[in-house]
Amino acid sequence: MDIQVGDIIKMKKNHPCGSFEWEVLRIGADFRLKCMGCGHQIMIPRRQAEKNIKKVEKSDKINDITT
């Protein structure tokens, strides 16, 4: 699975705040994710994260830098 730092991922289950979307802050053996609803950060193992991902929305880093 091709996931990069800055991507927004939609998970199968929602966070207690109600949001399904998470921003990827760090990748490796573990993922650090930030909830887009409340800003809470978690670290979960790569295997668990990849299993629960429903959709990956790629970030457009070129436009982020220029704006």
The whole-number pLDDT of residue 11 equals: 94
64-24-52 Cα angle (round to 5): 135
Nearest in space to 33 (alpha carbons), one of 60, 61, 53, 18: 53
CB 15 within 8 A of CB 40: yes
Walk along the chain (67 residues) in steps of 10 and give the mean pLDDT of each run: 91 94 95 96 94 88 54
* Token pair belonging to 55: 């959709």
The whole-number pLDDT of residue 28 equals: 93
Q: Tell me the whole-structure pTM to 2 decimals.
A: 0.81
* DSSP assigned state of 18: S
Element (H, E) at 56: strand 53-57
